[in-house]
Structure 1
Amino acid sequence: MSVSERLAAIAAIGRDDARGGYSRHLLEPADLRLREWFRSTAQDLGLSVEVDGNGNLWAWWGEDRTGAVATGSHLDSVPGGGAYDGPLGVVSAFEAVAILRAEGWSPARPVVVCAFAEEEGSRFGMPCLGSRLMVGEIEPAEALRRADRDGTTLEQAWREAGLAVSSLGPDAGRLAALDVFVELHVEQGRDLEDRGLPLAVSSSILAHGRWRLSVHGEGNHAGSTPMAGRRDPVVAAAAAILAVRQVALERPAARGTVGRVSVTPNGTNVIASRVDAWLDIRGGSDAQVREQLDVTLELIRARVADEGCRLEVEEESFSSLVAFDEPLTRRVASTLGDLPAIPTGAGHDAGVLSAYLPCAMIFVRNPTGVSHAPEEAARDEDCEAGARALAAVLRELAGTPVR
């Protein structure tokens, strides 16, 4: 099969008619169907499948479980996301294995295709949840308390899916079994399109944090409350969002975004009592992100106070700047004809794992440059080139020592 054919096999799963694109969230029906697709595809390729205690999927090529070369990505999406972010990496990993099998090649050490759980963090608010749990960067009890928009906790969702709550948490044995991880991903930007190249490797991931901003005001009647006497958190939140943009524009290469807002009680003829907004900041270093946050919050607090409202801030996650393993990145780039190395502002499971084992990433050109939206794209020929490139990398890494 081609990569495009493999993507077509899951194209009907999780379509979002309201938002456009796809909404595939952890342990919801679309995610459960994709997990079954993963299992059946792996079995068709002669791979043995297992689900670890953190909900991550593993498809093994080879009987040994040590010194493995891992590849893959994730299957979940943001609300209304594109078709390629995550699934392209999993599909390409399966296709790379199929290419190598068709050539009659066998690995000298195990190869494992993986799909990490809740990479986007769209249901329970923690990006790269499955990989973070595996390496011990989030406490199981904290994860289990997290709730989705409907109030369902991770613990409830875990039990309903028939998964063992007691197995959640650090998996030192599995982590030790991995020698290297190479993640293929659609580029989230248009650097490659501008360069006229189908593929690149990644040099680094920007530092990245998420914060929940809760603006408390006074709920009241929209018709009987004079404008001058209001403490409207929606007005305060609007000013806060403009402050995020203002501070980010003052810093070269900074990112500041509010992409999710929740209004309580959310009635047309009601002055709201509370607004929750989620702030996303990314920058070239941990210190730059923290400095931008401090300045942003100072300005937000002043604007919220101007409206007679009160602000609460909760940090939901923070990911430090990632510099991918240089020897491995050079080896991957050299294997593929000296590909360029480019940075990315998007987080990935490879970024989480990079603190524990050598990791590298391969990017596939995105002609629109759009990601986390239905307009995300990749040309069929570039996807096929990516799968062939990944096959070449697996042949190189699984046939000889990593370093």
Structure 2
Amino acid sequence: MSNSAQSGSAAATRDDLFAALADAHRRTVLRLIRDRRPQEIGKNDLAFRLAAVTSDKQLAAVTDDDHQRALIALHHRLVPRLTDAGLLEETDDGLIRTTDHWAFHEPVFETIMSDHGTADADNIDAVFEALTNDRRRMILTVLSDQYHPIATETLARDVAAREIDASERDVSQEHVDKVLASLVHVHLPLLHDATLVGYDDDTDRVSYEGHPAVRTEWIRPADSAPATDVRTAAEDTEVGQSDVRSLEGRDTIIATGQSLCEQADDELFLLFTTTGLLEEGCFRRIEDAVDRGVDVTLGSRDPRVRDLVRERVPEVELWEPQVDWLTLPPEGESVGRLVFADREAVMIGTLGQRAPGDDEYAETALVGDGPDNGLVVLMNQMLGSRLDELDAQRADRCSQFPL
């Protein structure tokens, strides 16, 4: 089976799972059967118990009509959907039992099945209904790696690239525009209503809100095991602004760097070692920053990078470092990209070795946010005076000075 076929099959499986869970009665059925483990239960007995729960009656008070309605619902609507999703199975003698599906091993899943509140049940319905679409899960995957709101166009470009397993530079603007339209008109409002994202169509910004009923691992593609998740690490360890966070993987690092570009109000300092690190989305973020009146400085020892930027965004101040401070012994890795926004947020990305037959480097990054953050303070000490000097020389667009 091809990778795309496997990916499609995995997506369909997740679609079925979340669709099955997007109904309070089906979750009640799962709980009732789960409570009987390791024994199975017959539909007749299950119908009595379901009728008692849904009508808020004692078992002895369930009428024949209550029982019959519950039995019909089980036979035609509830059990078949749960069986198709792999959560239930029927024995040869007509008894029903839960399977060994991974969902039953999730502690939060047990809490969801035990929730009887109507308001909470309605919210859980909306949450799981929102997760039934592969594009919406991809949106959440991208956003869960961000700790700042990002522009919808940035989100659309990242989603479009990941969906076709391509770099952002290989995604046409026409395709990005189509994805963006679906996000704005369909997916983001639905995710916002389900309280999974914050979406402000006036400012054109999106943020990941999360939900206690959802784990990040549930929404990521099966072949996209999360690296060090910035938001998860922050939530699990209750870190503060003084912490330095780590990222792994080119897509996550690019999206984070672009979000830092978007948050710059006054000054944006960038460094790229090779043209291969400059995605189309990076250029768009740089152009947007210039349009906002941000002073953008970009450095590289590679003349191709400087020529490319000069051609695309001539307003950017270019410089060429005279000292090769980018090599980081003893591992031999080097800084590939650096984003320093308003001297209050920084991302430093390092390049590892290229895999055989692969044109891209393995990438990791460190991220710091806030004026008191240790990494930000260090970068201010290293670059602050030199950036001040560069500001004084801004009239000379090819300033060169030892760094």
TM-score, normalised via structure 2 length: 0.30
Structure number with higher helix proportion = 2
TM-score (norm 1): 0.30
> Higher strand share goes to which structure?
1
Greater relative contact order: 1 or 2 (C-alpha under 8 angstroms, separation 6 or more)?
Answer: 1
